Amino acid sequence: MTKELSAEFIGTFTLVTAVCGAALFSAPSAGLVAVAFAVGLSVLAMAYAVGPISGGHFNPAVTCGLVAAGRFDSGKALPYIAAQVVGGVAAAAVFYVILQGAPAAGKWNTFLAVSNTYGGSGFSLLSVALIEIVMTALFVLVIVSVTSPRAPAGFAPIAIGLALVLVHLVAIPVSNASVNPARSTGVALFVGDWAISQLWLFWVAPIVGALLGAATYHFITSEETEDTQPAVAPEVFGSAAILR
């Protein structure tokens, strides 16, 4: 299981690297579109790169949703989530150090600006909770659907990456787009204070959304002919699936 957990660490590290790098340094000049595409492309790339090893979750909410969908062994869920959180924190730590060396004259965001928040000068707790639940539900619905044996082989990472771009385009203005507790935790630890106190919502809402996404998939489809398998499953990304 060491290789699987290492793959989850690397994949989540890359995802949070995309969040931090684009949101801190690119967004002030390029806007939220740059962040959305950076995150989506990072997941697309890592799904192909390490998805065959671990299944390519890179997100505690996705892991919970896949367990609920019957696609992942619940006994592996906690180790996966731990590896994802550590990967997210490690990526945030790298960019926290990088930000300290940024030139004073540049136009950069702060970790405060890229944290997931509610209330204050932003959207209300209800608004943020609702968008995180809905967007995560749709994201997990896409993941479970495109990794089904019914779906065309080899294209799952593309659909998942583009879905994540869509999620970020919609959710960044409201909540700074979490849909991933590991992403929220990594950044919040370097902000502290209120970011830590609000972190609970960015665990609860994405996980609730993931469970709703899995339940929706079960409602609209029948998986009677499917074998229980981890998702995103190695065969989805493997060359054999792509070529068949």
- Distance between CA atoms of 12 and 10, rounded to whole angstroms? 6
Rounded to the nearest 10 degrees, what angle do helices 60-68 and 201-220 cross at? Answer: 30
pLDDT at 230: 47
pLDDT at 241: 30
pLDDT at 191: 92
DSSP structure class, residue 79: H
Single pTM value for the model: 0.89
Q: Tens digit of pLDDT for each residue in 80-91?
A: 999 999 999 999
Q: Tens digit of pLDDT for each residue in 1-47?
A: 999 999 999 999 999 999 999 999 999 888 899 999 999 999 999 99
Classify domain 2-243 by CATH architecture: Up-down Bundle (1.20)
pLDDT at 236: 43
pLDDT at 243: 27
Residues of the chain scoring pLDDT < 50: 225-244
pLDDT at 239: 30
